[in-house]
Amino acid sequence: MATEQNNLPDIISHCKEYGFIFPSSDIYDGLSAVYDYGQWGVELKKNIKDIWWKSMVYMHENIVGIDSAIFMHPTIWKASGHVDNFSDPMIDNLDSKKRYRVDHLIEGFCEQVADSNKQLADELLVKMDALLAADDFVGLKQLIVDNNMKCAVSGTCNWTDVRQFNLMFSTQLGSVAEDSDTIYLRPETAQGIFVNFLNVQKTGRMKIPFGIAQIGKAFRNEIVARGFIFRMREFEQMEMQFFVRPGTQKEWYEYWKEARMKWHLALGISASKYRFHDHVKLAHYADAACDIEFDFPMGFKEVEGIHSRTNFDLSQHQEYSKKKQMYFDNDIDEATGKPYGNYIPYVVETSIGLDRTILMVLSEAYTVEDLSTEDKKDSRVVLKFPPKLAPIKLAIFPLMKKDGLAELAREMMNEYREDFFCFYEEKDAIGKRYRRMDALGTPFCVTIDHQTKEDGTVTIRYRDSMDQERVKMSDVKAIVLNAIKS
RNA sequence: GCGGAAGUCGUAUAGUGGCUAUUACCUCAGCCUUCCAAGCUGAUGACGACAGUUCGAUUCUGUUCUUCCGCUCCA
């Protein structure tokens, strides 16, 4: 799918070499699909979070943020459907590589034999229910093998053992394991918003339509976690749940689809790198859903999902918690001339993977340039981040250490560091310092030289064009601030 | 989870059943220099882990961990 060759291995090496992303527990050989952000990666991450938060919360008077706990009441995951949907025993056929839910496989078999042998089918179903209730995986496999249940694709009976796949991580609450309740690490941040819906609505005096935003960690015990930071077991989401009047969800869904794509394009990434993918098969809670996909080194993949979740979640929580999740709408319905009254709001969700966004920005920024001339071979690796995302905004170099140039540069550093992240460097030749900054994606470098002492001008060097300009020292701050604002 | 490939300093690499494991870049210290990876001198730093075979294993075998590619999965 990707038009260029897959340069993901180069990006991974670069991220490690220059302090963006390290394998977790590196000195112990790493931990599968877990990564740590290094000194520059954490800045990039923070910048992306800030931009998202600003665009969602600060730019919308009717959206507020929260930060809910990772641990939540276990019943929440029953209400949300996560427990039922992801605790099913599965079995794989070794020939067709097809994976089945064990209950589906057995039920399918029973339907087939029911015509000729109703008694056997009923017996099997009773046995299956008993085995499922007892979590007897060995017994379940035996049942499948004994009755010669075949894979529909390969037609063979070559099965793996029955295994339980639950995508949620669990742990115990309380110090004594036997007495304690099993609780889950949240597999999505959305439920933390739903269960706080009324808290926020009442204390914030929010009127529908309104939204609640949250950035936070989520955990999924993925069977196959791969693709560098694309699919990790511990990851961070940026979600916003928008509560609307029933019947208006379609227009809000379209609104947020467009608004979110605009946000992506504002990162300076070309529209041709994005596409929408509309879901045909909808999840149990949705009445419309699409993904925003980005052209990663390994092809088009989902970065963000926009889902019209109906009133499924709030209704479920109302049922399980026995607490009303209703909103009283005072606005007048023109059709009846009366207020809309009490209802469970519908929800339109935007949910973007922060780590995926980082990978997106990195793979978009990563560039290898050939700068060879006839005399000399030369190349550079440059991360062409939009200035607002760059970990370091400005690097300040004295051309040389002596003659008071270093002191001047330090002064500038002290003045500017309050406004944005600056980096000071006096080691090595100036060209080398420029190239080092290219590799970190620093959009601007200024060099203090002897002329600075005379007329207060400095050389500003631009990352992307490698052009240099002589400007007044006092103008530099405005140049940088202007660039990181847009 | 299945199939394939691979693990050597921070990165990229060479090589070997046996002497101090190669090279480049990076990094660090010093000298010199100063507007695009300059030069010189010196330094740090690696055979993924655990077993087995062997007089001796980084090299062969097995297990394991990790990564990449393809499939599969993906509320």
SS3 letters across A407-475: HHHHHHHHHHCCCCCEEECCCCCHHHHHHHHHHHCCCEEEEECHHHHHHCEEEEEECCCCCEEEEEHHH
| Homologous superfamily of A2-84+169-363 | Bira Bifunctional Protein; Domain 2 (3.30.930.10)
CB A170 within 8 A of CB A182: yes
Residues 6+ apart with CB under 8 A from A302: A277, A291, A292, A293, A353, A356
- Of A residues 58-77, those with CB within 7 angstroms of nucleic strand B are none
Q: Measuring from the CA of residue A281 to each C1', which nucleotide is nearest?
A: B75
How high is the pLDDT of residue A244?
Answer: 97
pLDDT of A6-49, one tens digit each? Answer: 788 889 999 999 999 999 888 888 888 899 999 999 999 999 99
Spell out where A68-121 has E strands.
Answer: 89-92, 99-101
Q: Assess whether the previous peptide bond of A209 is cis (omega < 30° from 0).
A: yes
Strand B neighbours among A 352-411, CB < 7 A? 371, 376, 378-381, 399-401
Q: Provide the CA A486 to C1' B37 distance, Å, integer.
A: 31
pLDDT digits (tens, 9 = 90+) for A72-96: 999 999 899 888 766 667 777 666 6
CATH architecture of the domain A87-166 equals: 2-Layer Sandwich (3.30)
Q: What is the C-alpha separation between A390 and A393, in angstroms, rounded? A: 6
Question: Percentage helix, strand, coil, to 5, in chain A?
Answer: 35, 25, 35
* A12 CB and strand B closer than 7 A: yes
CA of A380 to C1' of B69 (A): 27
pLDDT tens column, A159-176: 777 776 678 888 888 766
> Residues 172-191 of chain A: which lie with beta carbon within 7 Å of strand B?
187-188
What local confidence, expressed as pLDDT, does residue A164 receive?
67
Closest residue to B38 (CA, C1′): A429
What is the pTM (predicted TM-score) of this model?
Answer: 0.87
Q: Report the topology of domain A392-485.
A: Rossmann fold (3.40.50)
Nucleotide whose C1' lies closest to the alpha carbon of residue A429: B34
CA of A163 to C1' of B1 (A): 10
CATH 3.30.930.10 domain position(s) in chain A: 2-84+169-363
ipTM of the complex, rounded to two decimals: 0.89
Cβ proximity of A440 and A391 under 8 Å: yes
Query: CB-hemisphere CA count at 13 Å for A1?
Result: 12
Query: What is residue A328's predicted lDDT score, i.e. its pLDDT?
Result: 96
Cβ of A259 less than 7 A from strand B: no
- pLDDT for A2: 34
Q: On chain B, which bases lie within 7 A of the protein's CB atoms?
A: 1-2, 7, 10-12, 26-29, 33-38, 48-49, 65-73, 75
CATH 3.30.40.230 residue ranges of chain A are 87-166
Judge if the beta carbon of A135 is closer than 7 A to nucleic acid strand B. Answer: no
The pLDDT score that the predictor gives to residue A82 is 85
Low-confidence ranges of chain A (pLDDT < 70): 1-5, 85-88, 93-99, 135, 152-155, 164-165, 175-180
Q: Is the CB of A206 under 7 A from strand B?
A: no
E-strand stretches of A114-222: 163-164, 170-173, 181-184, 210-219
